[in-house]
Amino acid sequence: MLVKVYGSAVFGIEATTITVEANIDKGIGYHLVGLPDNAVRESSFRISAALNNNSYKLPGKKIIINMAPADIRKEGAAYDLTLAVGILAASHQIKSDTINDYIIMGELSLDGSLQPIRGVLPMAIKAKEEGFKNFMVPKANAKEAAIVDDLTILGVSHIMEVIQHFNGDKKMEPTLVDIRAEFYKNIDFPEFDFSDVKGQESIKRCMEIAAAGGHNIILIGPPENGLSESYYKNGQLSSKTNFKDGKENGLYENYHENGQLRYKTNFKDGKRDGLFESYYENGKLQYKTNFKDGKENGLYESYYENGKLEYKWNYKDGIRID
């Protein structure tokens, strides 16, 4: 039997509807075509385990699944639920009378529970544009999708909820969200703040402009590389460091607000390595120590502001030894 179910693929901020055709015929085998990546190909193992652990199974016949359009690469584990529903419907294990009204997405765990996925909002926007009535997503993503009006969002915690829903045993309740209430709930205590970001002033400025004007913005590229600088409100340099593949590497310098060096150290693959020196606001040495692989090693010396030695001791692997 041939059954069509629908999923979605996201490229940047745009989504494209993916038609998943599941056909079950005489013979043995599992064939997945339509330019899937390795994560999508591995879905058969996750689906098989999830169904077996909930008293369902992959049919012991020839299963052919086509993901169209074939010229668009399908990436990630988010198609697990789409493929599973297609197989269940094609093998008559669930009813498929209304299945064409749904966009279905979700990553399966081996016990049948659903893991959150990325790109739910553009998927929901595209589903509404193309006239779909329902969007079935992992429960962790349901509020994000529910921002889109005139689309019924069904948050799924477990594959059994999907099976019971389509068989009519227990219908799922739609997820509703008050956008204004959600906004004001988080406005005073945001999860992320630009003050946590060191440097990248031009990027932060671009994002502020985009937010103020209600524009979209997309950031694409590798982890942070190169020089990163941060500044005090008066324009004075606060710190500067270098990154390689998202990890600090090389000299790190931090400054007092009066422009004097506060401390300097070296990093290697994100860990302190080498001499660390700290200074008073008058430029006098406050203390110095050594690091190896992120842990203090060797002599530690502390000085009074007049330059006289206060005390000294030794460290080994981050532990003080007298």
237's tokens? 């340099």
Q: How much is the average pLDDT of 199-227? A: 81
pLDDT at 244: 85
- Better-predicted residue by pLDDT, 129 or 178: 129
For residue 64, count CB atoms less than 10 angstroms from its CB and return exposed for 0-12, middle for 13-18, buried for 19 or more. Answer: middle
Query: What is the C-alpha to C-alpha distance for residues 71 and 21, in angstroms, rounded to an integer?
Result: 15
pLDDT at 291: 92
Task: Give me the DSSP letters along 154-205.
Answer: EEESBHHHHHHHHHTSSPPPPP---HHHHHHHHHSS-S--GGGS-S-HHHHH
pLDDT at 277: 94
Q: How much is the average pLDDT of 57-72? A: 93
Q: Would you place residue 131 in the very low, low, confident or very high pLDDT band (cuts 50, 70, 90)?
A: very high
> Range with the lowest mean pLDDT among 111-120, 216-225, 255-264, 268-277?
216-225
Q: Is the pLDDT of residue 136 over 90?
A: yes
pLDDT, tens digit, for every residue of 240-276? 988 888 788 999 999 998 999 999 999 998 899 999 9
Q: Is the pLDDT of residue 11 over 90?
A: no
Q: Is the pLDDT of residue 285 over 90?
A: yes
- Considering the domain delimited by 2-179, tell me its CATH architecture: 2-Layer Sandwich (3.30)
pLDDT at 222: 64
Q: What is the mean pLDDT of the chain?
A: 90
Provide, rounded to the nearest whole percent, the portion of the chain with pLDDT above 90: 65
pLDDT at 15: 94
251-281 per-residue burial string, b: 16 or more CB within 10 A, e: under 16:
ebebbbeeeeebbebbbbeeebbeebebbbe
* Domain locations in the chain as residue ranges: 2-179, 218-321
- Considering the domain delimited by 218-321, tell me its CATH architecture: Alpha-Beta Complex (3.90)
pLDDT, tens digit, for every residue of 164-212? 999 999 999 999 988 877 777 767 666 677 776 767 788 888 888 998 9
Provide, rounded to the nearest whole percent, the portion of the chain with pLDDT above 70: 95
Q: Is the pLDDT of residue 231 over 90?
A: no
Q: Is the pLDDT of residue 221 over 70?
A: no
Q: Is the pLDDT of residue 320 over 90?
A: no
Q: Residues, the chain, total?
A: 322
pLDDT at 195: 73
276's tokens? 């660390």
For residue 187, count CB atoms less than 10 angstroms from its CB and return exposed for 0-12, middle for 13-18, buried for 19 or more. Answer: exposed
